[in-house]
Structure 1
């Protein structure tokens, strides 16, 4: 079997399952944006309280991210990813029990603790299979789950809330958390039986195929470094990567948590209709991010691909602010913003995975992801506080656009490792 056919087989086996897991993870993380449309009034939560609750997820995520990835390297991907998924599904379903700010904060924090390590763990797991020159497109296919979660999750969340109000004495947002937590638990159980820990434990590969995959990994052109952990945590390159990621994640969660509200502000009031409309920006993003990542892999260029995507995201947020009360124009602008923001991520992750190996890869990928995802706390908190203070989301969107511009400029301003990787 030639190399292209072999990697196609590996991708058919691994990516659909990992993709489905990430769809479930992302739904459980951001369905609070839909729940807000009803939960906020039912519980008397201010926009600031909502912003803190939406974002406090990332504090738990930050604290436990690096230990989680190191533990995955110790106990194996199969068992650890299964543990993560089962625990986050149970906590997500338990959000049904929220009664006020304190319980909202507590369960969002616990959800972050439960999910910590999933995304960087999968990124690390993919480095066990794919060499550097294949990774941007592979990570893009995996991360397109974020976009598909938006395509599927919007209508699904809207339909659940529209159909379930008052059923069994529960509010519609309670049914949303309960029903969307169940698939994560089921997929976690399936992980124990389906996912191999790596190439050598894949029973569906012949020995010759395993050897070919190992040779492809060994032939990577860029040297990967396994730094001791004390040196990793003071490495300037790792922290620069974390800062860039933080700035882009600011934009991502601005869209993820506030997109339903922005569409409501434009004049759409029906919650199911809002759910259908949110599918459009994510559908556009799913196509754009995969095409851009393929082009980046084919040319070997990373910096400009990342920066231009970030600038497009900023332009989309500013346009959405300018046309906030025109549903069609706001939706077009939000589609540009979502596509630009999401496109930055798979190409970005081709950088640290090409530089780090071994324990340094496990800890470094988790460190970059955890620091970057602190923006998931900062972003919804700031937008919520600004909206409480001004009565509008406009200033918050301008702030997020500025963050994306700064991230794009930082990528362009520095040299290697942000420079060109060898084309293959």
Structure 2
């Protein structure tokens, strides 16, 4: 009876929550990286060099870094429904304001403000999922949630290319129309969050009484099991060496992810392709990555192993970046970028399954936000390094090799943490 109740409850929770939060992340990722497509025409219109564009693209993560931990603490106190709504509405308004960028300083300012506005969304959702899904389900659920990022590239790439073709309508450039139109869903969905999201299982009127009672009891029992060894306070979440180590691991994966999101369109276009062709080809690697990520995360959940699932994925992404740096044709670069996409996407779900295994309460809120905020600084370093090195050498190759090195470092740190006896995932973490 318990088994059938568990299956029915988790199926109901998954169908209620996961598609909606995937949609939110889909919009978030489009608004975060659509400057990669805007750059195909915006850089020329505004006179941006590769270094200026790379710095502006990356400064997003300084705003993210400064406001991420406070944002997640507030979410834990006031609830996901109110705070996620606030996050989405403000980032949507700021994203639309990019249509009115006039030069590099307004570009830098808006990118910083966009990072500040969006801070807390991703770690907030990771924390939110830990309220609803027992640990044995978490990597698989996170993989489905995170699939929204590559899906946003698959769908958003041709969409952004098509919007760039609106050049001159009502006196606006195509990239201005792209920012305006792609910002609208964030504001509308932010309002919808207020009416759709439920903060905790205790408030889930859409579950039957027995389903709600089972889920509340299950999550309370899991919380109680962590009382002995888990850390709970705010300072514990920030100072735990495992949190800092995972932040360093995430730094490399973020550098790889945003190198793809921000520079891949220009890397592909460098082979002489049209903007529309770039839009469709840029969607091929993440399409492959979606399937690989979900299968990899399920294997991680099934085996209970996290460390090697992160290490192997990081190495695959690193090899792909080095191959992309030496690619001599569009076919070769798409194949290499496919490896990068697969590795980056596959590394993240098992990585994000780790912190909630040794943190609880306020420590979990702060620890997850700390990993994400420090780690996402890689989203500044990667894109900035690509732009700066390209200006110095005239090629993307050196920057891609640099980011590949960061991913190797992520793999090494993961192994060091695992072999030091301070494993991010305790034995039996997935015991049923």
Q: Same fold (TM over 0.5)?
A: yes
Structure 1 residue 378, shift from structure 2 partner: 1.2
CA distance in 2, matches of 1:246, 1:78: 28
CA distance in 1, matches of 2:257, 2:370: 18
Structure 1 residue 330, shift from structure 2 partner: 1.1
1:265-276 map, 5 Å: 265-268=270-273, 270-276=274-280
1:1-150 map, 5 Å: 1-150=4-153
1:143-222 map, 5 Å: 143-162=146-165, 164-220=166-222
1:384-395 map, 5 Å: 384-395=387-398
- Indicate whether 1:251 and 2:264 are aligned: no
CA distance in 2, matches of 1:24, 1:258: 19
Structure 1 residue 419, shift from structure 2 partner: 5.3
Q: What are the Cα deviations for residues 89-113 of structure 1, in whole angstroms up to 9, with x where unaligned?
A: 0100010010000100011111011
SS in 1 for 2:283: helix
2:362 to 359, 369, 377: 359
Q: What are the Cα deviations for residues 33-76 of structure 1, in whole angstroms up to 9, with x where unaligned?
A: 00011000000011111011101111111110011111111111
CA distance in 2, matches of 1:88, 1:29: 9
SS in 2 for 1:414: helix
Contact map agreement 2:231 2:363 (CA 8 A) in 1? yes
> What's the Cα RMSD here?
1.4
CA distance in 2, matches of 1:3, 1:383: 48
The match for 1:311 is: 315
SS in 1 for 2:144: helix
Structure 1 residue 342, shift from structure 2 partner: 1.2
Contact map agreement 1:86 1:186 (CA 8 A) in 2? yes
The TM-score with structure 1 as length reference comes to 0.97
SS in 1 for 2:282: helix
Ranges of 4+ aligned residues in structure 1 off by more than 4 Å: none
- Indicate whether 1:417 and 2:426 are aligned: no
CA distance in 1, matches of 2:426, 2:290: 25
CA distance in 1, matches of 2:155, 2:138: 25
The match for 2:349 is: 346
Structure 1 residue 376, shift from structure 2 partner: 1.0
CA distance in 2, matches of 1:75, 1:356: 20
1:232 to 227, 231, 237: 237
Structure 1 residue 6, shift from structure 2 partner: 1.4
CA distance in 2, matches of 1:150, 1:191: 23
CA distance in 2, matches of 1:88, 1:64: 13
The TM-score with structure 2 as length reference comes to 0.95
- Indicate whether 1:279 and 2:264 are aligned: no
SS in 2 for 1:267: coil
Number of residue pairs matched by the alignment: 421
CA distance in 2, matches of 1:62, 1:394: 28
CA distance in 1, matches of 2:119, 2:415: 30
* Greater Cα shift, 215-224 or 205-214: 215-224
Contact map agreement 1:300 1:420 (CA 8 A) in 2? no
CA distance in 1, matches of 2:399, 2:28: 26
CA distance in 2, matches of 1:317, 1:230: 37
CA distance in 2, matches of 1:138, 1:192: 22
SS in 1 for 2:239: coil
* Greater Cα shift, 411-420 or 77-86: 411-420
Q: What are the Cα deviations for residues 343-396 of structure 1, in whole angstroms up to 9, with x where unaligned?
A: 111110000021111011111111110000011111111110000000001000
Structure 1 residue 120, shift from structure 2 partner: 0.3
Structure 1 residue 273, shift from structure 2 partner: 1.0
* Greater Cα shift, 414-423 or 365-374: 414-423
SS in 2 for 1:128: helix
**5+ residue gaps, structure 1:** none
Structure 1 residue 137, shift from structure 2 partner: 0.4
SS in 2 for 1:266: coil
SS in 2 for 1:45: coil
Structure 1 residue 420, shift from structure 2 partner: 6.3
* Greater Cα shift, 201-210 or 125-134: 201-210
Structure 1 residue 319, shift from structure 2 partner: 1.2
Contact map agreement 1:135 1:350 (CA 8 A) in 2? yes
